[in-house]
Structure 1
Amino acid sequence: MTSAAELQPDIREHLQHLQVERRLAPRTLQLYTDAFERLQRLASAAPAVALRQAQPHHLRRWTAQLHGEGLAPRSIALILSAWRGLYRWWGREGLVAANPVDGVRAPKAPKPLPKALSVDDAVALADATADSSDGSSPALSARDQCMVELLYGCGLRVGELVALDLGAGAAAAGWIDLADASAHVLGKGSKRRSVPVGAPALKAVRDWLALRPGIAAPGETALFVSQRGTRLTASQVRSRLKRRAIAAGLPTHVHPHMLRHSFASHLLQSSGDLRAVQELLGHANITTTQVYTQLDFGHLSKVYDAAHPRARKR
């Protein structure tokens, strides 16, 4: 851990300013101290540069060195923020003519891949029976199974799911056409799309519709309703899905969007048709859909590692 005493006097003065005037927390002050130690160390390495004479190209080189040392983009962004504040303070004091950190950016952090269930886990979730300890009635169990079938079988967003109504109409945001075996939803950007509904999902919808009148409030148009008879909310769907995943014995936390990811990943693994998956998901740009090609490659890598004689054993 870096001590402020190891820093040059004008940087220590800035830290004092941050502590007294800005009232930064001790943990934040320590992070800033570490950032300034790195700055001082990088500037003193050959060819040495006086900190107040540093130019943007120096800061870019030092940022690249931090990245080369293995620092994560988020950590580098925090360090640059501390450096930028130091030079800004020096500028107000008339000690530097310009801020050399302005325009210097941390490397982009890689976007985490969406998590998807395995096919076996997705099927287990759909086939799970309700845990009687949570007070689920047969109607609520049928409703929950229907929701899982539509989230996983159609790749719906949770907002699209809860917006489904009993039938088509001027005010309906979405509906299920049983005769045509299709779901019609209003997605992001108020864009409508239609997706096919498979046989298991159609059966689940019919089973739920047979029990829905015993729960729904009079005049309620929502396809999915709560115990109180009113339209189900997204948070309620998340809660019910979490319970169902526990009942199914799944080893991971399951949320509605994970089922959408699973739908896309499994469909791409089977078909290889990226354009079709884009259309079914309602993505405006295919680059959004391309993340699932990385998921697919990850699946293939796992199969290779587990089965191929030349795979590197960990």
Structure 2
Amino acid sequence: MNRALLALALCSTALPAFADEVNIYSHRQPSLIQPLLDAFTAETGITTNVAFVEKGMVERLVAEGDRSPADLVLTVDIARLTQIVEAGVVQPVQSDVLEANIPEAFRDKADLWFGLTARARIVYASKERVADGAVTTYEDLADPKWKGKICTRSGTNDYNIALLSAYIAHHGAEAAKTWAEGLKANLARKPDGGDRDQVKAIWAGECDISLGNTYYMGQMVNDPEQKAWADSVRIVFPTFEGAGTHMNVSGVAMTKSAPNKAAALKLMEWLSSDAAQKIYAETNHEFPVKPGVAASALVASWGSFTPDTLALTDIAAHRAEALKIMEEIDFDAGS
């Protein structure tokens, strides 16, 4: 079935089940996943059809119900994975291949989603104005010495909510609220924009450090307009006191309707393979989740670190509490 027919089907009725295709709803930009899907098709002969759903994916799947043409959901962040689980629109997948390839910390305990790539929530620090070793922990970011020095995107953004959720899991809600208030007091400006915008602000001298995901460095380095921003900072892998660096994932889940279940499972398993993990590492500047698959040379150049071993499902359990804290302290109002 060609993409024009898929587009029609996505807007109306369910697609008929074909053994040689997989239909995907994706939060991820098509350009990021197309190299993977092309390689999968070349190896298996199974075609893939992708609908980029930037917003309202859960609502769409709920509305479509059993008529949904989607077999798989590709998404980023533990929060979005949790949302599709709580909406009851995905089904458990039992697979020896997935269990062998994906560590327990990066998959759902009930097999409802599986992580495919990992990213660290790190600090971008000015090479000119921040000394080596000045920031070593997330706790450091609330130190008054950084007053007026920190930039970040919205406190209610999924990536920052996940970080605060991890803080709650490590230290408790009261300590997490105190930390968030300290971080807010240190902001150089009101939260605005995405992670790359914060690095641009460091380059422009508006702040000295920011929070961001690792893969944005790879995107900036390869963008002629943003390379100067990337060159102005270095990556710091902070840790929680007594633990490691906060990790998040992109992941996949099989929809409850899944008209092409067998082919969809083949794609899920293939995405956890050495070949797919290597493509992810080289093209998306992310960390492979499968043990033994090396990061790209660029990602490796950022240095080694100790990932936090806290299970993502444990982090997701504190999401509502983290969001409540950010709203109570009015984080996005700035300092």
When normalised by structure 1's length, the TM-score is: 0.26
Relative to total residues, which structure has the larger strand share, 1 or 2?
Answer: 2
Relative to total residues, which structure has the larger helix share, 1 or 2?
Answer: 1
When normalised by structure 2's length, the TM-score is: 0.25
